[in-house]
Amino acid sequence: MTITQLVNMLINPSLYAHFLHTILLVLAILLVLFNFSKMIHLEPFKIIVLLLFFSLVIGLHGISHLGLEALYGYNPIRIFLSSVAN
């Protein structure tokens, strides 16, 4: 990634929206894990709604990755694997 591409990526609000989405998604997962004993006692319909909600959130996060990769070449898995390989 060139310096120009990096600067263009960092001034774009979609990157910050993606980071905020990541933080909120991790926070939601932590809340579910810490309250799991309460959640298993929910009625089946509410569990299905929660699962569908998480499916939507994870899908939207994946679409955000797709857009960032298409526009800026931002692929955190590739970045992580290249840093581990070196």
Give the pLDDT confidence of 42-63 residue by residue, as tens digits.
999 999 999 999 999 999 888 8
How much is the pTM?
0.68
Average pLDDT over residues 6-15: 74
| Spatial separation of the C-alpha atoms in residues 1 and 7, rounded to whole Å | 10
Q: Write out the residue range of the structural domain in which residue 31 sits.
A: 3-85
Average pLDDT over residues 16-34: 89
How many domains, in total, are found in the chain? Answer: 1
